[in-house]
Structure 1
């Protein structure tokens, strides 16, 4: 009797609407799974069309082309004698569903629609799909003729069912169903389903790598069974990065897992399990056994096929492995670097252009490009995915090119430019040059004062007025305008150089302009609209200043670049106001009226804990009680919300950023809030003022009571000692 089965989980770097490329990657994963001895292969969510098609799911073309890809898979000789589970959108009775399609030897066995859709954070699934509400029920699905001509079928089961082979039973969850409180794996396990597959599209966030690990371990520890988790990897055409980490888990132990970040487009993991281990484990859980006896059964699709070979006694079974999680610094070093590579190779451009100021933000961005180059070098040297080298040669325009080092590659991919003015210090210029030399970027230094003066001359010619900085007697409006024109002129020059630098270097294509505004500055609106924070993409736009500093400490040691220490210790500054005797007079935190640490706390309370001004004050007045008075806390909260309201409109043009932080203010994607506010928050601020007065009165009463109690105690003491009161 067969009892050992080898199962494969595929991690794929798919791309929305890239049907040809997606098909190739699916076929490659099937080939890899077969070569590893697997008889069952499961893949990620919506792998045929790509997860991030979004409003393209309203188009019939998306469904048509998905069926065409499935037709190719059904007919591929490679798929013979393997049970295959793929993800695609399916229209059933004029309703769109996010589905798994399970097939074997040119026959579709089951179409299983998603039961629980995800609508939080970055996800809007109910905009395009409907959840399947008919628990443990199936209906007839009429196959398109192009598929029926291949399979010889007209009708196939559609709904909440399981696959029963000659040796085991297989059930399905889809992404969110693992996360929700009533996960399908519980009733599936109680009904005797031994292998549960989850095709997922789960994105990465800093410090969240443990979540999937704990979920799959807990699910199989509680219910027993084998959980096959297949996730997407890479940039699917959006801000998020799908982080791989596919896994195979048995009875609470991880047997195999894929890497979280990688440049490989296809990664297949397998594990050989003994089905008897599941059966004995479940039978020993007596509470589960009693619940199973009264569990309602799923419809079973009977299949004359066995996952296990007849003679399987010599097959070695997989042993449990450790699943260590990356540190936040490692996640920053690898995640945005992989995202940048996906964006570069799919955009048709030849590299990146970065205005490098020598500060924490732009230096972090430059180091992420260098980290990308390091990952490419490692892939090429170990003979990894050949697509990496072919994409590299296509981007550089050299069909014979093989990089010799990460810094040599960085010189081809990254152009950095220090854009100085009279307000720039020599220290920042030196730090930018030193970092560029350390990573090998093609570096330039330009002075942009003449361009700024030319623009101001136009204004002066029209109005007869010439604005001044505040230190020279100008008003705040003049001072701000003079700062903004410097920042905006840098943006204009960024795009000029990005379009022409490869032409000047006798290379084809253009460069993608990189932004370097962090998530805290975006939240506060501490940036000039349409300045050099306006770019094509921003790899650090979802990362806090605090985490970027930690990343720089990590990068200093990992890449052996000493100048990073000077960058970390330098005070953050925009350098847009005149220097005083060559020294800085402007720092970011003074300009903002709050520290970066305070900004992070504001962001978490606003987004994650869903606080308005009043509830934020009520939380912070306790949290900050040792540092600030209640009135000072109130002023800080009011200042934050005034700035947030005044600058919220900037989020509508925020550069598309790598999503990494759960309090990102990214407009219309992750953070759905208005961009026009009543900036004085009159009602909300009055509520805060009342609370401040209440706290003050309570303290006054307590203080008065304390004085009275002190006098009373003093009188009692005098009576006891015989002193006349």
Structure 2
């Protein structure tokens, strides 16, 4: 956990009895034990969890308040030898007022008490009858459980073992306020917000509550742990479902089932490194005025334990089909809108595009076709060119021809073999040597043809290369690397196929659809080496540079979150458990770093192209990196990983 900089937090909503502090405290202790078994560092309970939220005028009873304090004392004693931070809800009286509070307990001490700021007093809520807002009390400490305890809404709680772990507290309605306390707590340094809540259930409220938590975690660039009261609260007028959520920077990590009669509990890890990275990158976050907060220390040891957090092996691709289809539709719309603007701006008479029968050129052609349709232009203005060479196979050739014809683009075929042979002769290259000169000659010959045709037809060359190829430098400099507008430039390889699939299923005729599905089933290849003895593709890209699903995973976590090699190795093993061995992951991660850093010179001069997602390598936009940066730092880290992990 420490090497990943995760904090494991448990949100527990135990079954309770209203106004029975002894029963509730025993349930809380039982839940703390389960959190310890899961090796959580923090366990959070609902609002007023010791007494129950629905006590009503019983909060005026001195007996209830004294029973509650005795229960907190019992938790303090229980916590002496427990390696965990415990956060419970309790009513606490001070200076003739009662406050709805979060009480933090760590290793035999009450380390802090945070009162609720915003008290709901509308509809079914009547809190101002019983409680005072935390803003009215001016004392910085309170005497409680025989201790002088920091008290107030200006408290942050910092781990002695990990300075990145800083917690802020708010209570239920605080989140519903126009400016929630968590906004200022996060600006003050809180990496994780804990919300003790008692939010009753109404039709549609769960969706709204979930949206609030996710969006507040995104605005605050923080982890957000929300735990609500559940079964056992009074059902006189309301029902509480025990809805708990754990979110991080706009992403929902865990969510509990509701209406569980024995209570509910969720546990997940919040990635503090992601939070730090995103805050460093956000100028809006750093520019916002900040309040001063008192910091209270607590101590828990980071544990080497089982990780609950799920790691999506394809981070660019939504897991749910419905969401994935929406993503693909939006990407396709962004591509066509970008190309349409470029065509209108320059008054282009044609779009020239090389078609290989592979995925990337297929998607780019589909974008060209849709652009024509949106602008009311005849599809014949698309000059789709096949340029068969030494490695072209019948399968890709036939798919290219069939696709062009079925879509109504203008078909052109210009073989490149003779021109390449003449060029080999001109430069004195033995064409039996299938080296980089042999391969790149073909790529540059094709680019020259496309560029010259764009002059002839008064148009532009539409580029087909994708984000994964740019990241790996898997393009011939001034060959397929070059165009006049690159419509696929920010779409990773693992996502390209889903966009093509979406178009096949939603935007083309049956004949075209059949071709597209065969393209989707074709191995990725530049087809620059001769076919095998059976006429099939002999040069498969992923055999040479590694699986694109691994490289896209490396790319996402390197660029989006700034993770280092050790962490990427570990989360890759988790994400692809059972599919790739550690040695395989190590091999291709090392290859990724070498290529990603050394091939920046190709990205420094790429053509314009639309950004479609959170990661883009345009030198004019998201990624500014010197072309002559050394990759030595990454190689040394990889050497260290090999030595410590015995990787081959």
Using the size of structure 1 for normalisation, the TM-score is 0.43
Q: Report which of the two has the higher share of helix.
A: 1
Using the size of structure 2 for normalisation, the TM-score is 0.48
